[in-house]
Structure 1
């Protein structure tokens, strides 16, 4: 299988002790590219170091994660905008809303999301959206900001079928990860009603490892388990899932090039 992981934090410190070995295992598993979402100002150097070490394999995005929207979010956004001004990135991400961890900066999260969506429109880039416990609120902001050309991924989709159809109607893709393999994840009631043309695969490594590795450090090398689960739910082969979701990912992110 030739797979693409559209969302993995391979630059995380959780991989510092064995990153080269993990990358080798990822390639052996049939994963041919990893798209890396940024989190905050502190993660930029780590992410770009991964790009330098594994060129054309680890591809960076640029954005401010909603959980890192705090008092200084405007200063952080200035730094990220300066990076977008001086070099290319595959997407604006990971951006969005999060009502799971901390609701105290929710209004600032919405402002940061709207600003970063405008960046994506200005640079003609897709957006990669985090929407934990905030699916409806995120859909509403994206719909309000949509200019007819805006596109992207609702990362780690765990919503219901109504939400899935709203996202698809806006021209966005659903990022399907390890939750699809969980017994009570809920995606077994949604994915069978969808088409492969609306999906991309992701791991969100080092988080949310799929069964049979649930509870352990996640890695893009486990992406085949997610492809197999999606294939089972759609009654197609894992190879077909890999082929179609790879096409979707490459179509969304375009052919990324950056001179290192």
Structure 2
């Protein structure tokens, strides 16, 4: 059973928007953080993990037509907001699963988790670090065809011409990209201090990477995983930046094995 609810983001000195959450299942809490494409990109992950866990899937403020408060200008703001959410709920033994931008948020949460609420981390083609010799592709400089070619193993299957997208849906996508640019555009898609801080994170970390990702390459992912105190790196064949969409069975099998291990 899936439920949707709201939780007020903590920022006493400003007008606070309600944080939109979708929840399902019972058991270990699993916080699932979407990337720039919105919560639909992690819906399959959430449905699978909800079979044996309590999944919590926020919609980042500014996505899907939600309001982004003026003070939310960086990924660190989101990381702290989600840590506050878990603390306010009295959660423990939390697994954080993040795709792309969501993986960056999860990594920033882990380095700030002094209460040790988080006990596991899964990064799926995460952005957020400066890996020497492996710069991330400037997503905002790509047209729709370029996005498909960089983000997918099979771009012809996933390319969508903006002219074919209904006006309302296109407006939502444009709003998503505006929110992404506002919180992650300067410096572009990374925290210059994050990579060196990851060694302090000692919880088990699984970094999953699509072999054909040209947004952030597998070499970038390997450097990301190696920076953690207990990081493991796995490549998903036949997938690009979102292996949970192109190769869901292989991706979920690797996550299940990680959790079982």
**Length-normalised TM-score, structure 1:** 0.36
Give the structure with the higher percent strand: 2
**Length-normalised TM-score, structure 2:** 0.36
More contact order relative to length (CA 8 Å, sep ≥ 6): 1
